[in-house]
Amino acid sequence: MIPERAYPTHPIVGVSVVVFNDGKILVVRRGREPRKGRWSLPGGVVELGETVRDAARREIREECHIEIEIERALDVLDRIFKDPDGRVQYHYVLVILLARYKSGELHADSDIEAAEWADIHDLARYDLPDEQQQLIAQARAPLYSSEAAKILAQRERTDARRAQRIHVVLERVGQAQSLLDIGCGSGEYLRAAAKLGIPRLVGIDESPERLRQAQANCPHAELHLARADKLTFVDQSFDVVLAAQVLHEIALFGQPGDLERTLSEISRVLKSGGRLIALDHLDPGPERVRVRLPQRVRAQLDYFVQRYQLRKITLEECPDGTLWLSRRDLQDFVTKTWAFGTAIEDLEMRETHCPFDREKIEALLSKARLTLCEWLTFEEISEDLAEHGIELVEGASWPRKFLLIARS
C-alpha cells in the first residue's frame, strides 16, 4: 500500500469488481498491503474527478489487461484495518460492481502478483475474504450471455419437438387465474398460456436478454429480473408455477442448496392446492448400449469426448466398428451436438442432460412439502438417434424427458 493510504485522515473510496467470464470469476493475488500475497477480487482507489465505473474499468485494464462491461452496483462495504495499538491503519469505503468480461488476454500487471479465472465451484482454494465469497454468491451472473441467449432462442425456434412440450405442459394448466413461469426464457410458454385466457401471467429470469425476448413474445406478461431461490412475491400468489427445463440448471450451476431453496420458494408462493408443473431432463441410468455411428457423427463424438467437462466419457470399440457406451453418455452427446461451434458450447460442455430420476425428484419435492400427483415420461431417445443416423444395435430406447405435477 502506498504510504499516503496508511493512517488516513478520512476514509478512502475504492471500487471492487466481481467479473464473470463464462462461469468463472476474476481473482487477483495482491501485491500490496492490506492482504499482500492473498487472493482477492480486483479493484483499486477511485481517483479525483473519476466516476466509480470509470475507476473500475481503469483498474481492471491496468492490473489485468482486459476490458469489462459493467452491469450494476452490488453493494457498499467498509474495510477498516487497525494496527496493534488500535489506530486505524487503513479505512476504505468499497463500492462493489458486477461486470462481465468483454475482451483482452488476461495477465497480471501493476499492483498485483497474479491474476486467474477461477471456477465458481472451486473458490475455496483461493481463501477469499468471507464478504467477497458472499458477494460472489449473491452476484451470480446470468447463466446466458447476450450472445448465448440469442443462440438459445434460435435453437428453440428450430426445435421441432418444442411445440409438443408446450402442448404437454399447457393441457395440464387447467382453469388457472395466475401463472408464474420460473426461468421464463424467451417467453414461449407465457405466450401459449396467454391463449388460455389466464388473467395474470408472470415470468422471472436472470438473463436481461432472455427477458427482452420474453417481452417481445408476450407483451402483457409481468416480467422480473430475479433469481428463483429468492422470489419477491407474497405467500400464496399463484395457482400454477411452471418450471420448464430450468431445475437442472439451478442444480448444476447454482450454489449448494439453491435447488432446495427454489422448491421451497415455489411451495411458498403457490396457493393452497396450487400446482407446480415441471418439465426437465430424465436420467436414463448407467446401463450400456451398443451403437453404430456414421463416420461424420463418430468424429463429432470424438470431439465431444475431448470437450465434455462434467465427467469422463468412456467408449469401448468393438471389432465391427460399433461402440459400447452408457445411456447417460449417449444422451448427453446427441442432445448437445447442436451447440458445437456456438457461443453456448462451453456452457453445454459443463452440464448434463441426465440430472434427475424419479426417486431424486420425489425426495426434493417432499422436502419442500410438495406432493407428486402425476409423473409422465416422453420423448424417446430413438428420435434423437435417428436424427443423427445412429443405429441402436443392442439395448432398447428410453424416454429422455419427464413432466410432473405436484400440489402444495
Question: Using one digit for the tens of pLDDT, what is the confidence trace for 125-146?
Answer: 898 888 888 788 766 656 677 7
* Domain 146-282+358-371 listed as CATH 3.40.50.150: yes
Q: Given this chain, do its domains 3-139 and 146-282+358-371 carry the same CATH topology? A: no
Residue in 375, 378, 345, 340 with CA at minimum distance from that of residue 360 = 375
Rg (alpha carbons) of the chain, rounded to whole number = 24
Asked whether the beta carbons of 106 and 115 are under 8 A apart, the reply is yes
The domain limits of the chain are 3-139, 146-282+358-371
Q: What is the pLDDT of residue 100?
A: 83
Q: Please, what is the average pLDDT of the chain? A: 91
Long-range contacts of 1-6 (CB under 8 A, 24+ apart): 1/32, 1/33, 1/34, 1/90, 2/32, 5/45, 5/90, 6/89, 6/90
Q: Distance (Å, rounded) from C-alpha 291 to C-alpha 111?
A: 56
Residue with cell 427454489: 262
Cβ burial of 242 (10 Å; 0-12, 13-18, 19+) is buried
Kind and range of the H or E element at 238?
Answer: strand 238-244
Asked whether the beta carbons of 381 and 354 are under 8 A apart, the reply is no
**Extended strands (E) in 83-164:** 88-103, 112-119
Q: Distance (Å, rounded) from C-alpha 135 to C-alpha 82?
A: 23
Q: Which amino acid is at 391?
A: E
Global pTM value: 0.69
- pLDDT < 50: residue spans in the chain: 1-3
CATH number of 3-139: 3.90.79.10
